[in-house]
Every structure is written in C-alpha cells, then in structure tokens.
A and B are shown apart, each in its own frame.
Chain A
Amino acid sequence: MKDFDYLEPASIAEASEMMLAHPGGSVMAGGTALMLALRQRMVTPSHVISLRRIRDLRGITHTPAEGLRIGALALHAEVARSPLVRQHAPMLADMASRLANPQVRNQGTIGGNLCYGDPATDPPSCLLALNADVVLRSARGTRVLKVDQFATDYFATALEPGEIVSEIRIPPSAFDAGYHARFLRTAAEHRPLVNFAVSLRKQGDACEDVRMVIGASTRVPTRLRKAEDWMKGKTVTARLAAEVADLGASEIEPISDIRGDGSFRRDMARTACRRTIEDLFNPAGSAATSAA
C-alpha cells in the first residue's frame, strides 16, 4: 500500500473543504471496500479523509411525516438491529442481517456501500424498492437524489467533488409488504449473483400496487416497470407470478463476470422474482420455496 496522509475532519463542511483542497484524496467510512482498493493499488490517494468523527453522519431516527433517516455511517449491523428500521422498513433490516458476514456487517456502512457503486451488493436494490432518497452534502449545499439517479453506472455515482452522502431517507409509503431476496452462486460466496427487491400493497389475493427491482446482476439496480404494470390490480396466481417474472427478466440487461454470465443471471433473476412473489402471496399451485 502506498503512503498517504490521514485526516479526520469533525464536520461535513470541514470534510468537504478537505476533499476540495486534496483532489487526489479518498474519503473513508468503514474502509472495507477502500482498503482492498488501496492494498491492490487500484487507487493511490495522497490523503485518506476518514469520516468517523463526524457525528452528523451517525444515528437512525424516524418521524411520522418524514419517515426514516439513516446516517451514512450506520453499519450494516446497526441497520439490521435498529428497532426503528425493523418497524418501518423491515425488509431493509432483514436484508442487512443477511448481507455479507458478521465481520463485514460490523465494519461496512450503508453510505460506503452506495458510494462505491459496486453492483455486487444488496442495499441499492432494496433502497430503490423502498423509494429511498440519498442526501448529498457539501460546503456548497444539499442535493437529494433517488437511488436510480444516484447510481449512474458500473462503479459510478452522481457524487461531485467535495460531496459526501450524509444520510439515506425512506419516506413513509402506502406499501404494506415487501421482501429482499438474494441468490448466491454457491453457499460459500459472500456476494450476491442476483437480488430481487419488492414493495407492494395487497388487497386479499390481489396486488394493488408494486415496485420491483433487480440488483447485483445489472450495472445499476433496475426497476422492472413492465412487470410492475402487468401485476398491478390483478389477482396473484402462480401463473401470474410466472408471467411477471418472465416480463421482469426480459427488462434487464445482465452483466457477465466471474460470478456468472448474462444468460445465467437472467434465469436466476426470473427465478428469484417468481419465487418471491409466490412466497408473498402463496397462491394455490405454487411450489413456494424461499429464495436464499
């Protein structure tokens, strides 16, 4: 690892100024992604600017009007065990409790996860299905983006020089159910090959409203808009679940890499989608078995 100077700003404004003063520097939260990149010399920053002393980036709060606010420095483990997240966004807490492994959950932050832009991760699809806002702050001001505006491409985000993600907000919604399913290539893998996130409002056996997202298999998490439109207002049968999954799988542009090629990923995306819908509605004739 190349030598660097290490800085610990105490506020968002100070961090932003340091980032602008040291354009060759890297911001660090938990370090789980950045350390790997440093060690492999994929990045060789002049300065590492640690966010760990910035109190405004911590904490998880909720208000009925604004919903959940999750500080960017919240660890995956904190998201998983937070009573507020478990109450108001149970699928997010559940996802965080299954992500990676105990050590990485105690080290990695939700903000760092989004800012790295690595497709092989779980929170982005979950947060997009929850219609979350990403709040970006700098010495110049504040911007609020949706997850699909923030994640612009493979390992790329909308962050501009001097900007940091301060928090994630999950607005109150009319959805009353949801699930985040992750499929691993082998049980020994840490990272997802594909994941599928769904938020919905049920009326008996029918689906009144739905948001569906595929992640980890596409450059950025992808809304399944045709599949959503097809499902809305219909009674969910095993046959409908299969139709929705077929449509959804046709809407994504899967990536090919060491974890799997595009056609395998499309198949697994279809399967994760169908099984999750079946699990949520349990229609007659389905072979409901949970996706991983």
Chain B
Amino acid sequence: MSKKTIEVVVNGRTHRAEVPARRMLSDFLRDDLFLTGTKRGCETGVCGCCSVLIDGEVIKSCLSLAVHADGHEVTTIEGLAVDGVLHPVQEAFVNHGGLQCGYCTPGFIMTTVAMLNDNPNPTEDEIRHGLNGNLCRCTGYVGIVESIKAAAEKLRGN
C-alpha cells in the first residue's frame, strides 16, 4: 500500500500521520483522528454533511484526499466551541429549531460559519443560496434559516 506522511493542523492541534494515499479527508478525520462530528452521507459530493473548513473556506471532505490537506489548517464541528461554550452558530441552531435528527447539522453549521465570515449580514435569499450544497431531510429548512438569521445578528453584536 502506498503511504504518505502528512502534517495537518486540525482544530488548532498539529497532527503528523502516515496515511494511505487513497485515504479521503472525511475518513482521516473520523477513523484516524476519531473526530466523528464530521458525517459521511452520500459520499458523492451532494449532501454536504461532511463539510469542514480548510484555511477558513468550506469544502466537502468526501471529495478531497487527506494528502491534499497536508500543510493546511482544518476546522471541524469539534473545533467551534471554546472551553465548553458553544459557538454562536451552534447556539442559534439549538435555540431556533435548526435541527431534528441532527445528522446534517455539523455540515450546515460549518457552511454557516464560512458564510457569515464572508457576509456578516446576509439576506434570506443569500442564506438560502449559500446553503445549496447542504441537504436536510428533516427540518424543511425553515428552522435552519431562522437559526442563521439569529446567529448573524448575534455575531454582528446586536
């Protein structure tokens, strides 16, 4: 088996690991680092539940090799809370019915964090378009959009 040594900063911690060249980033996070907050759903780039941040930009970790993360910074859902205090986006999803079964939630939250970094005051239309890489089978999206509006407001300091 062809192996490669990679160095990746995940949620602020540097990991040096030897991985098979064909290891997907999603599998590396879940099976090697045991960060199981990142989900595997379709594994074909459609559902978005595997979304993570690389150097602050949201990507689908099922479409990327772990070796491609070498030398980069990855943030997963586990990296958002600080000292047990939820990130404002997480808190908003809890308070505004942004989830039911929760399987899609880590992906929606990572996408939202990136969206609000780029655009702190999105319109409802921008929120909906910004979510078109994420699928939710439970909520009907209304609670998710409400959560994002509330999170945006909180992050803007209102």
Contact = CB atoms under 8 A, between A and B. Distances in A.
A107 B60 CA distance: 8
A77 B2 contact: no
Given A101-B48, A102-B58, A103-B133, A36 B63 contact: yes
B99 interface: no
Contacts of A188: 132, 135
B49 to A, nearest CB: 11
Contact of A6 (B21, B24, B45): B21
Interface in A97-124: 100-104, 106-107
B68 interface: yes
Contacts of A107: 59-60, 63-64
Interface residues of B, number: 32
Given A48-B21, A77-B57, A6 B63 contact: no
Nearest to B4: A6
A55 to B, nearest CB: 14
B80 interface: no
Contacts of B2: 3-6
Given A3-B2, A4-B22, A35-B24, A102 B67 contact: no
7 contacts: A1-B22, A3-B1, A5-B2, A102-B114, A103-B111, A104-B45, A107-B60
Contacts of B111: 102-103
Contacts of B132: 101-102, 188, 190
A35 B21 contact: no
A102 B59 CA distance: 8
Contacts, number: 80
Interface in B44-81: 44-46, 48, 51, 54, 57-60, 62-65, 67-68
Interface string A63-103: 00000000000000100000000000000000000001111
Given A4-B21, A5-B2, A39-B44, A101 B133 contact: yes
A77 B54 CA distance: 14
Contacts of A32: 45, 63
B29 to A, nearest CB: 15
B43 interface: yes
Interface of B: 1-2, 4, 20-22, 24, 43-46, 48, 51, 54, 57-60, 62-65, 67-68, 111, 114-115, 130, 132-135
B89 to A, nearest CB: 15
B129 to A, nearest CB: 8
Contacts of B51: 103
A48 B130 CA distance: 32
Main secondary structure of the interface of A (DSSP, over half): mixed
Among A38, A50, A52, A107, find the residue whose CB has the most chain B CB atoms closer than 10 A.
A107
Among A32, A39, A106, A190, find the residue whose CB has the most chain B CB atoms closer than 10 A.
A106
A2 interface: yes
Given A3-B22, A32-B45, A106 B68 contact: no
Given A35-B63, A107-B63, A102 B133 contact: yes
Contact of A102 (B45, B46, B63, B115): B115
A190 B63 CA distance: 15
Nearest to A101: B133
Interface in A6-46: 6, 31-32, 35-36, 38-39
Nearest to A187: B132
A19 B21 CA distance: 18
Given A3-B2, A6-B2, A6-B4, A103 B43 contact: no
Given A31-B65, A31-B68, A36 B44 contact: yes
A39 B43 contact: yes
